């Protein structure tokens, strides 16, 4: 019923929601490399970014193809924010490994989401159309 794109969005949405719940439910000290974020808000607040994006992505899984683009767009936000923070930490020298973490988020998250957004849906059933009145040939 969901089709390939919907299943992808559902899996992605549940994963993002769970990742965010982990930050909220089990507060932890600020991990290295995320100072750009934690200077503005504690890490558990940033967990809500993952949760909200995950819920929006999950809900978008149940939309028709062509209307599910919102889910793909929202799914890009948290990993892009994390990658930006890691790039900033690598450039500033506070977390040199941040460059590798940024590449991880940009490829395994952002890149995969962008690719999946372009995958055509072949398993969506055709909507039946009523027979047209007219001349029989």
More confident residue, 73 or 27: 73
Q: What is the mean pLDDT of residues 6-34?
A: 93
How far from the centroid of its chain's Cα atoms is residue 90's Cα? 23
Our separate counts of H helices and E strands in the chain read: 6, 0
Q: What is the token pair recorded at 44?
A: 């558990």
Instruction: For residue range 74-122, list pLDDT tens digits in order.
Output: 999 999 999 999 999 999 999 999 999 999 999 999 999 999 999 887 6
Q: What is the DSSP string of 30-50?
A: PPTT-HHHHTTS-HHHHHHHH
Q: What is the mean pLDDT of residues 119-134?
A: 68
Look at residue 62 in the predicted model and tell me its pLDDT. Answer: 94
Instruction: For residue range 52-82, list pLDDT tens digits in order.
Output: 999 999 999 999 888 899 999 999 999 999 9
Look at residue 126 in the predicted model and tell me its pLDDT. Answer: 63
Phi and psi at 89, nearest 5°, equal -65, -35
Look at residue 1 in the predicted model and tell me its pLDDT. Answer: 75
Q: How far apart are CA 88 and CA 66, in angstroms?
A: 35
Q: How far apart are CA 36 and CA 106, in angstroms?
A: 17
8-state DSSP, 101: H
């Amino acid at each position: 019923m969901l089709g390939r794109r919907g299943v992808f969005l559902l899996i992605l949405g549940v994963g993002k929601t769970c990742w965010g719940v982990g930050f909220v439910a089990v507060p932890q000290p600020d991990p290295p490399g995320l100072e750009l974020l934690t200077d503005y808000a504690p890490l558990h607040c940033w967990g809500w970014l993952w949760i909200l994006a995950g819920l929006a992505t999950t809900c978008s899984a149940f939309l028709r193809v062509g209307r599910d683009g919102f889910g793909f767009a929202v799914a890009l936000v948290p990993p892009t924010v994390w990658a930006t923070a890691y790039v900033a930490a690598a450039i500033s020298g506070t977390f040199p490994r941040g460059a590798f973490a940024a590449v991880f988020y940009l490829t395994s998250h952002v890149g995969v989401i962008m690719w999946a957004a372009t995958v055509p849906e072949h398993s969506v059933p055709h909507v039946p159309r009523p027979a047209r009145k007219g001349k029989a040939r």
